[in-house]
Structure 1
Amino acid sequence: MKDEEFAQGLEQFAFCLLDQLCRANPGQNISYSPLSVRTSVGMLRMGATEGSATAKELDEGLRFGGKDVQEVAENFETVLKSYEQCQVLKMVNGLYLMKGLEIGGQFGNIVEKKFHSKAMEIDFGSDQAASMINKWMESQTNGLIKDIISPGVLDKDSRLLLINAIHFKGNWSIKFNENDTQEEDFFLQSGKSVRVRMMHVTGNFSFAPLPKLQATALKMNYSACNLVMILILPDEKSNLTSLESRLSRTSLQDLSSSMNLEQVDVKIPSFKAEFQQELSETFKLMDIKRIFSEQAEFGAMLKSQAPLFVSKIIHKAFIEVNEVGTEAAATTAVVATFRSATAKPRPPKLFHANRPFFYAIYDNSHGLLFVGHFNTTKFEKREKCDACTYNNECKS
């Protein structure tokens, strides 16, 4: 699987996931890392019995394009190796195994060599298990991702935990001057307006009107590692919902290559968002169902033939965009449980993001790292009771 094919599959997976997250979280800010989610569940795929219905379902749902498991693993290794050279981006994988169990030979070998993750023994039934894993995750994400594993997620029947953490902190190539940031109106999709801190800069940016999407695109470069943020702003006669319904039929790579360097007057809000979702129901709606049932076939994971199924897929992400740049982090945990051309001088183009917009942090070689939309000025760390920690609404 070549880089381009990997990036295309990742984008297809990302937009399918975005559609389900939008349906589950109407009107909310969304921020997630499709690369983190795909990597964690990709590790899970390495433990599926070859030729089984479980393996086929995962291959199709994760958009692996019919490639064999070794080729898929090698492509993930290529991505991990490339990011080892990037000082502003860090991605790590973890594999925790219940004390007393032995990892399957081929599965353990692939996860260690291709996903750079060696199995670590832990007693999932102990009171300290969640705390130990959370401390490891927090240390890997610059303290941004905390407490992804809540009490009650792990117990004595948990057998294996696969986890991916990704952290990015990049500076803009063209920075905003904080002195130019002013409070301005931001118009919500409901028609109401609120005041936001609106950053402002004029410079040469890749820019393109997108009449088929009824939107305008802007690409802002980071100063390192060939990374960019692509922002897509719906036209005033359109809206974010309409835009995102069309995005799944659009290639961000093609869109990016079609943009021209223009002088652009840019205004975007300074914002931060934290988002957490338990993805089991989301995956089922994406036709990845078998892994959550007693029909799951994970015969390659353990040396023993103890039946395994996935009880939870937990994803948490954080992003902050300010005058200097962007800091973003995401973590995904899978719990397996026992039973340019220079433009001629002219007035600058306008890109004033004073209404809900879509954004993506994009690697020109490997595709999407983070995806999200800014839809509201509310920034909430969701505090929930134990009964609804992984749901969006409290049921108690």
Structure 2
Amino acid sequence: MKDEEFALGLEQFAYGLLDPLCRTNPSQNIIFSPLSVRTSAGMLRMGATEGSVTAKELDEGLRFGGGNLQEIAEHFGTVLKYYQQCQVLKMANGLYVMKGLELGGQFENILERQFHSKPMEINFGSEQAASIINKWLESQTNHLIKDVIGPGVLTQDSRLLLINAIHFKGNWSIKFNESDTKEEDFFSEPGKPVKVRMMRGSDSFSFATLPKLEATALKMNYSACNLAMVLILPDEKSSLTRLNSQLKDTSLKALTSSMNLEKVDVRIPSFRAEFQQELSEAFKMMNMSRIFGDQAELGSMLKSQAPLSVSKIIHKAFIEVNEEGTEAAAATAAVISLRSLPVSERPPKVFHANRPFFYAIFDESHGVLFIGNFNTNSLQKSKKCNTCTSKNECK
């Protein structure tokens, strides 16, 4: 499996996951890290019985293509090692297994060597289990990802928990001037404006008009790690829902390669968004259901033949975009410095994000790390946050 194949598979998986998340959370801000989710699910794939229906489902659902187990594992190792060099990125992958269940030697080996994750035993039925896992996550993310596991999520019947977290804080290569930020109307729905803090700037950015998508695109670079944010704004006659349905046939790498460096009048909201969700239903909607039931074939995971299935796949994400840059949990950052060209006689292009839009943070070589839909200026949680049992637990 080559870098471009891994990156393309990651992007296809991202769009595949975006669809059920949008369907179960209509008109909400969606934010998640495809790399983080795919890495954790990839660890599970390492424990699936080779040639089984479970393995086939995961290969197809996670978009691993035709690569064999070792090739997939080695490529994850290469990608994770690559991102470890990015000082503004903190990434943690965890696999918890019920105490008393001994892992298979090859499975444990691959996790430690390629996924940089040592499986941890735990008694899911204990009162301390959720606290132990949450504290581990905090320690792995500089105390920025908290309280992912709510009370009542783990039980004595739980056997396996996949959990992931990424934190990133990076500055724009071309920053916005805070004094230029003004309150403006944002149309979450046509004819129903709400006020947002709209950042303003005019400089040279990569820009493209996308007639097939009925949208325009803007690329904004970060000042570290060769990452960039791409924003895709549907035309006024189109919608974010329509754009999302077309993205599965789009390559971000191809899209960005078609961009031109232009003088652009940019207006985008300064915003914060948070999203937490248990992903088992989304995985089932992506035809990966066997791992959650009695027929799960995870024979390479344990030395014994004790039955094992996945109880929860939990993901939490947070992002803040402001004049300086971006801070995000379940995200990462990048930069390719582009400075102003000589002033052109032509009027600048316009990118005025005063309506719902799509955005992604990605690396051109290794693919998309972070995907989101911005629909509203309020900080919202998912209505389908099945990891919580009361209104006060998802903070």
TM-score band, normalised by shorter chain: over 0.9
Instruction: State the shift of 1:377 in Å.
Output: 1.6
CA contact (8 A) 1:278 1:391 kept: no
Instruction: State the shift of 1:390 in Å.
Output: 7.3
Measured against aligned partners, the alpha-carbon deviations of 1:110-132 in whole angstroms (never above 9, x if no partner) come to: 00101011122322222111101
Task: Show the counterpart of 1:269.
Answer: 269
Residue 192 and residue 120 in structure 1: after superposition, are their counterparts in 2 closer, same or farther (change >3 A)?
A: same
Task: Show the counterpart of 1:315.
Answer: 315
Secondary structure in 2 matching 1:58: helix
Measured in 1, the distance between the counterparts of 2:296 and 2:191 equals 47
Task: Show the counterpart of 1:122.
Answer: 122
AA paired with 2:166?
A: I
Measured in 1, the distance between the counterparts of 2:381 and 2:250 equals 32
Instruction: State the shift of 1:70 in Å.
Output: 0.6
Secondary structure in 1 matching 2:189: coil
Measured in 2, the distance between the counterparts of 1:173 and 1:224 equals 8
Measured in 1, the distance between the counterparts of 2:160 and 2:288 equals 19
Task: Show the counterpart of 2:22.
Answer: 22
Provide the TM-score with structure 1 as the length reference.
0.92
AA paired with 2:193?
A: S
Instruction: State the shift of 1:160 in Å.
Output: 3.1
Measured against aligned partners, the alpha-carbon deviations of 1:74-102 in whole angstroms (never above 9, x if no partner) come to: 11101110011111112222222333332
Measured in 2, the distance between the counterparts of 1:92 and 1:265 equals 38
CA contact (8 A) 1:275 1:316 kept: yes
Task: Show the counterpart of 2:146.
Answer: 146
Task: Show the counterpart of 2:247.
Answer: 247
Provide the TM-score with structure 2 as the length reference.
0.92
Measured against aligned partners, the alpha-carbon deviations of 1:310-335 in whole angstroms (never above 9, x if no partner) come to: 1221111111101110011129xxxx
Task: Show the counterpart of 2:105.
Answer: 105
CA contact (8 A) 2:161 2:311 kept: no
CA contact (8 A) 1:59 1:65 kept: yes
Measured in 1, the distance between the counterparts of 2:219 and 2:342 equals 16
Task: Show the counterpart of 1:41.
Answer: 41
Instruction: State the shift of 1:279 in Å.
Output: 1.3
CA contact (8 A) 1:277 1:390 kept: no
Task: Show the counterpart of 1:389.
Answer: 388
Instruction: State the shift of 1:388 in Å.
Output: 7.4
CA contact (8 A) 1:319 1:328 kept: yes
CA contact (8 A) 1:276 1:315 kept: yes
Matched, 1:368 2:368: yes
Secondary structure in 2 matching 1:310: coil
CA contact (8 A) 2:130 2:151 kept: yes
Measured in 1, the distance between the counterparts of 2:107 and 2:171 equals 38
CA contact (8 A) 1:205 1:263 kept: yes
AA paired with 2:366?
A: H
Secondary structure in 1 matching 2:213: coil
> Sequence identity, in percent?
74
Measured in 1, the distance between the counterparts of 2:210 and 2:389 equals 37
Secondary structure in 2 matching 1:309: coil
Aligned residue pairs total 383
Instruction: State the shift of 1:50 in Å.
Output: 0.6
Secondary structure in 1 matching 2:264: strand
Instruction: State the shift of 1:355 in Å.
Output: 0.7
Task: Show the counterpart of 1:237.
Answer: 237
Secondary structure in 1 matching 2:125: coil
Runs of 4+ deviating beyond 4 Å: 340-344, 381-385
Gaps of 5+ in 2: 332-337
CA contact (8 A) 2:234 2:357 kept: yes
Measured against aligned partners, the alpha-carbon deviations of 1:371-392 in whole angstroms (never above 9, x if no partner) come to: 011101221356999x872799
Instruction: State the shift of 1:141 in Å.
Output: 2.5
Residue 297 and residue 383 in structure 1: after superposition, are their counterparts in 2 closer, same or farther (change >3 A)?
A: closer
Instruction: State the shift of 1:18 in Å.
Output: 0.8
Secondary structure in 1 matching 2:212: coil
Task: Show the counterpart of 2:62.
Answer: 62
CA contact (8 A) 1:263 1:343 kept: no
The worse-fitting range, judged by mean Cα deviation, of 235-244 and 213-222 is 235-244
Task: Show the counterpart of 1:209.
Answer: 209
Measured in 2, the distance between the counterparts of 1:48 and 1:390 equals 31
CA contact (8 A) 2:151 2:389 kept: no
Measured in 1, the distance between the counterparts of 2:167 and 2:47 equals 26
Task: Show the counterpart of 2:89.
Answer: 89
Measured in 2, the distance between the counterparts of 1:312 and 1:99 equals 17
Secondary structure in 1 matching 2:232: strand
Task: Show the counterpart of 2:327.
Answer: 327
Matched, 1:290 2:290: yes
Measured against aligned partners, the alpha-carbon deviations of 1:194-216 in whole angstroms (never above 9, x if no partner) come to: 11000011111000000111100
The worse-fitting range, judged by mean Cα deviation, of 342-351 and 376-385 is 376-385
